[in-house]
Each structure stands twice: as C-alpha cells, then as structure tokens.
Amino acid sequence: MSPGARAPEDPSPGARAVSLEELLAAREARAARQWELLAALGLPLVSMTLVWPGARKDSRRLRALMDRAEAELAARLGAAGFRVRARERRDGAAGPWALYAVEAEAAALKRLAVALEEDEPWGRLLDADVVTADDALALPRPLERAELGLGGRPCLVCGAPAASCLAERRHARGLAEAAAAALLDRAFPSRQA
C-alpha cells in the first residue's frame, strides 16, 4: 500500500472469532515453523505478530498493518546491512504473522526490532520478537528485552508495564480494544472514523 493510500475498512463485525484452541494451535504451528527455519538455516529469526485484544484477530486492516510492518522491517534491515535469507508470511483466523531469517547478530536484530515497535506510531500493535535456537530444549527461544537492558512493553491503555497490567487484569477488555483501534487508525490516518 502506498503512503497516503486509504486503508481497507475493517470487517471486524463480520469477522469470525478465533477460539482459544485455534489460537494455541496457531502459536504451536508458528513455533514449529520457527524451529524448522532455525534448524535449517542456523540464523536468528524476526517473528512478527500483531497485538490485538479480543477474539477477532484477522481483518483486512490488520493484514494491511502487517504489510506496513513488513515493509518497514525490510527497509530497516537493508539500511543496517542485514541480509534476509528467508521470509514467510501467513494470514489466518489467529491473525497475520511473518518470519524473517536474517544474517545478523541476535542482539543487534533485537535492538532493531524494538526500535521498530517504539518508533512507529502504530508500533505498539506490533510484536517483533527475535528468536534463536535453544538446543537443550529443541525449541525456539525469544530474546527478551531485559537481556539487553531494555524496558518492557508498555500497556496499550495506560503506558505502565504491560505485563503487570495483564497479570492484574487492570483494564476492561473494551478499553484495550478501543486503545488498539485508535493505534490502528494512526497507521492509516487518511481513514476517518
């Protein structure tokens, strides 16, 4: 989508709600694919998903947001001189996700991913993990922000650490959904509510 182009309307009212079982199965499938790529290429991965509260995780606007996130990631990887060796994208009821196998040091890649989340006005809706192989467990292992001395992700609603707000169920789901929708509108400012 070109800059200034109008984002597609969000069909959320007609979109199918994803069950917890489907969401967990999608996460397991993504983790399995991460492990396959890690084992085959031996490179760190950028694993991008969207943070979207509620049961409806897929829409044209969310796919357009992932398109925008992928374009921005590709530009930043290129500017840093990092080579993408493999790229995959999947769209489905559990929401869009993308994997990038990158020739780069994992910590540098994580800093780039965090900058993408923090620099873009819609970046809080993006979860850009950097995943490496945990050979002892034969599982993909996300590189945590804290390992690099970086702060945690902020809450969609209040900006406090998201982990504590989630653990304490500090905000009603409707507030998180409204905050996410406002951030999505920031991604496509030509769309008028």
The total of structural domains in the chain comes to: 1
Q: Note the pLDDT of residue 11.
A: 43
- Which CATH number do you get for residue 99? 3.30.70.260
Domain with 107 in it: 16-150
Q: Note the pLDDT of residue 113.
A: 96
Q: Strand locations in 70-150, DSSP E? A: 83-90, 97-103, 126-134, 139-142
Q: Note the pLDDT of residue 149.
A: 87
pLDDT tens sequence across 138-166: 677 888 888 888 888 888 899 888 888 88
Task: For residue 193, tell me if it sits in a domain.
Answer: no
* 3-class secondary-structure state, position 120: coil
Q: Note the pLDDT of residue 77.
A: 98
Task: For residue 190, tell me if it sits in a domain.
Answer: no
Tell me how far apart the alpha carbons of residues 95 and 169 are, in angstroms, rounded to a whole number. 23
pLDDT tens sequence across 55-73: 899 999 999 999 999 999 9
Task: For residue 71, tell me if it sits in a domain.
Answer: yes
Tell me how far apart the alpha carbons of residues 9 and 30 are, in angstroms, rounded to a whole number. 27
Task: For residue 159, tell me if it sits in a domain.
Answer: no
108 or 136: whose pLDDT is higher?
108
Task: For residue 76, tell me if it sits in a domain.
Answer: yes
pLDDT tens sequence across 7-59: 334 445 456 888 899 989 999 999 999 999 999 999 999 999 999 988 899 99
Task: For residue 58, tell me if it sits in a domain.
Answer: yes
Task: For residue 156, tell me if it sits in a domain.
Answer: no
Task: For residue 131, tell me if it sits in a domain.
Answer: yes
In terms of DSSP bridges, do strands 126-134 and 83-90 run parallel, antiparallel, or are they unpaired? unpaired
Average pLDDT over residues 107-117: 96
- CB neighbour list of residue 72: distance below 8 Å, 6 or more residues apart: 116, 120
